[in-house]
Amino acid sequence: MLVPGMRVADVGAGRGLMTIPIAEQVGPAGMVYATDVDRAALSLLQRAASVIPAARRAPVVTRPLARPFDTGLDDVAAGSLDRMLMINVFGFGAGTPRQEVVAQLRRFARLLRPGGTLVYHQDWLYPDREFDRPALVALFSEAGLHLTGDVPMPSHIPAQTQFFDLGFSAPPVVLRRGYILLFGP
């Protein structure tokens, strides 16, 4: 739940599909930070936000990510965010150095105020690319973020699906339905 005046970070915001509605919900007394590796997407997000009168939305501060494991939020005051949103942001799993992921998650954790919530949503789990739910919860816990809730995936999303990762010349990859998890400090 979002209320006016909240401070929110949308990590991996892209073009702002979630960022713009969040800015409207938290209103001009709130603040929204949007980070992404795609500078062009953040530029489009800024333009979209500028169309909405400032009296109807929170300021939206965009932050391009400069390097792997950059948070884009290191200058935000510790304990100042009410919510953080991460949708399909990380490819946790094979090949990802665990210590670097934990260090990054700790930097995110320090930003949440007591009672704050980090929403982590992963649509689909690729074999050998993303952690399954128990492994992900253990990873976040190691970083000081503790599971506070589990939101059921929408019922229209099947338990698994097929994806042609390399085009139709390769066999399809079977993806498993992901999760929506809530974490707190």
How does DSSP assign 97-108, residue by residue? Answer: -HHHHHHHHHHH
Show the tokens assigned to 183: 């974490």
Are the beta carbons of 27 and 55 closer than 8 angstroms?
no
Q: What is the pLDDT of residues 38-93, one digit of tens each?
A: 999 999 999 999 999 999 999 999 999 887 778 899 999 999 999 999 988 765 55
Q: For position 92, what pLDDT does the model report?
A: 54
Least confident of 61-70, 109-118, 175-184: 61-70
pTM of the model: 0.90
Domain regions of the chain by residue span: 7-184
> What angle (nearest 5°) sits at the alpha carbon of residue 35, between those of residues 29 and 41?
105
Q: For position 18, what pLDDT does the model report?
A: 95
Mean pLDDT, rounded, of the chain: 90
Quick check: helix, strand or coil at residue 161?
Answer: strand
Which CATH number is associated with domain 7-184?
A: 3.40.50.150
Q: What is the pLDDT of residues 135-164, one digit of tens each?
A: 889 999 999 999 999 999 888 888 998 888
